Structure 1
Amino acid sequence: MREQPYVLQGTQVDQIETSKVLRNTYALLAMTLSFSGLVAFAAQQAHVPHPGILITLVGFYGLFFLTVKLRNSGWGLLSTFALTGFMGYTLGPILDRYLGMANGADVIVSAFTMTAIVFGGLSAYVLTTRKDMSFLSGFITVGFFVLLSAMLAAWLFEISGLQLAISAGFVLFSSAAILYQTSEIIHGGERNYIMATVSLYVSIYNLFISLLQIFGIMGSDD
């Protein structure tokens, strides 16, 4: 009987810790998204060229692994903003290219709106139902390798409709990642708010880019 107060106390501590991680994650996510958006706007206004796939991959993974290494220190916040700022920089030239299209502004607004709706809806669903989405880990792992193979095929071969299929696949993949990461936070699987923020940011970024491509392809058929 004496163990019961300690069990309750441990549960309350876990709940407080989870709430803290959730609060810090969404606060940092809001700041990084705003910072990334400002960098993307500045890059678009300056008409900077896209750094290319090689520099993008090196920059992203380099800053990502740096953030992982520094995640438990104050420097982790700096590397998080460096990572999201760099991704915003790569987004600027993409937005500039779409704005050069006849309906480019509508495509961007549609992709942005849909991204906000999808992220908000999926997050609200997990937060309100508190369902355990850990079963999605297998889907996410398989999806990563399937999408990687599809991107390699698109680079090597000219296959009609493959790019649209890849974009649709990334929408599903990013949505599953948002559900999974949000569930990990509220169920105590993720205790580091910096890594939770980076995970959600990357999912939102990929979701937005994929929707841009889908709406752009659909718009070009008109």
Structure 2
Amino acid sequence: MEAVQSRPVFQKVLGVFAVSLLFATAGLYTGRFIPPALMMPLMVAEIVMVIAAFWLRRKKSVGYMFVYAFTFISGITTYPIVAYYASQAGAEVVLLAFGSTFGIFAVMGVIGAVTKRDLGFLSTALLVALLALIFIGIFSIFSPLTSTGMLAYSFIGAIVFSLYVVFDFNQMKHHGISEEMVPLLALSLYLDFINLFIYILQILGILGSDD
């Protein structure tokens, strides 16, 4: 009975997630016109908004406009990455990365939704893996990884966020969804999707540039 009652709200989460992708796409297009000097401030704003979102999670006060503003800014800051790999390996690599991301996201989402066991026990392990990715990402700014190292890092990142997709869908199934949780859950799915996309793009970009 609970699953039937929560189904419309679950569909609403997916709807908000789909709209967030549209805002991110608009941001990606806008990124073409943003001066490079503004990218760093926008990235800082994006990080602050992510921290704020998870702080506000306890109060369940993340709103729809917050989600759409964040995803728009995220699209802008993603543009330099997309443009770089498009120039290095070709525009078709970007399309392949998006298609692969969409396919993996859909499959992992279904796995998470149909798994009868509550996968909440994965929370700590995924958080540790995420923090490790962040640490390595920051470290690579000061000491760039080799091509092989970057490829391995991207594969691990893709695996971690694929598991996050499974985890998030599973938790929505087992712990229910209230109306006030919709924006935050949609934002979580967006973060899963965009990070998975970036890691897959890096994998395909590195492999494509080596051909």
Per the normalisation by structure 1, the TM-score is: 0.81
Name the residue aligned to 1:174: 161
Q: CA deviation at 1:166?
A: 1.7
Does the alignment pair 1:124 with 2:110? Answer: yes
Q: Within the alignment, does 1:186 sit opposite 2:173 as a pair?
A: yes
Assess, with a 3 A threshold, how the Cα gap between structure 1 residues 89 and 159 changes in structure 2: closer, same or farther. Answer: closer
Give matches, 1:1-222, under 5 Å: 12=1, 14-44=2-32, 46=33, 48-49=35-36, 51-53=38-40, 55-56=42-43, 58-68=44-54, 69=56, 72=60, 76-101=63-88, 103-160=89-146, 161-188=148-175, 191=178, 192-222=181-211
Please say which of residues 83-92 and 135-144 is displaced more in the overlay.
135-144
Rate the CA distance shift 1:122–1:164 in 2: closer, same or farther, 3 A.
Answer: same
> Which amino acid is the alignment partner of residue 142 of structure 2?
L
Structure 1 residues 59 and 100: alpha-carbon distance in aligned structure 2, compared to 1, 3 A threshold:
same
Distance 1:93 1:151, change over 3 A: closer
Does structure 1 conserve the Cα–Cα contact (< 8 Å) formed by 2:27 and 2:72? yes
- CA distance in structure 1 between the aligned counterparts of 2:82 and 2:120, rounded to whole angstroms: 34
Identify unmatched segments of 5+ residues in structure 2. Answer: none
Secondary structure (helix, strand or coil) at the match of 1:174 reads: helix
* CA apart distance, 1:48: 4.5
Counterpart residue identity of residue 156, structure 1:
F
**Structure 1 stretch displaced more, 143-152 or 77-86:** 143-152
SS at match of 2:36: coil
Contact 2:6 2:176 in 1 (8 A): no
Q: In structure 1, what is the Cα distance between the partners aligned to 2:155 and 2:65?
A: 33
C-alpha spacing 1:50/1:209, structure 2 compared with 1 (3 Å): farther
Pair member with larger Rg: 1
SS of structure 2 residue aligned to 1:100: helix
Q: Does the 8 Å CA contact 1:33/1:201 hold for their aligned counterparts?
A: yes
Q: Which has the higher helix share?
A: 2
Query: Judging changes above 3 Å, is the alpha-carbon distance between structure 1 residues 146 and 99 closer, same or farther for their aligned structure 2 residues?
Result: closer
Higher mean Cα deviation, 112-121 or 125-134? 125-134
For this pair of structures, how many residues does the alignment match? 206
1:107, distance to aligned residue in structure 2 (A): 1.1
State the one-letter code of the partner of 2:128. V
Q: 1:147 to 1:95 in 2, by over 3 A?
A: closer
Mark the runs of 5 or more structure 1 residues left unpaired by the alignment.
Answer: 1-11
CA separation of 1:51/1:17 partners in 2, compared to 1, >3 Å: closer, same or farther? farther
Q: Which has the higher contact order (CA 8 A, sep 6+)?
A: 2
TM-score by length of 2: 0.85
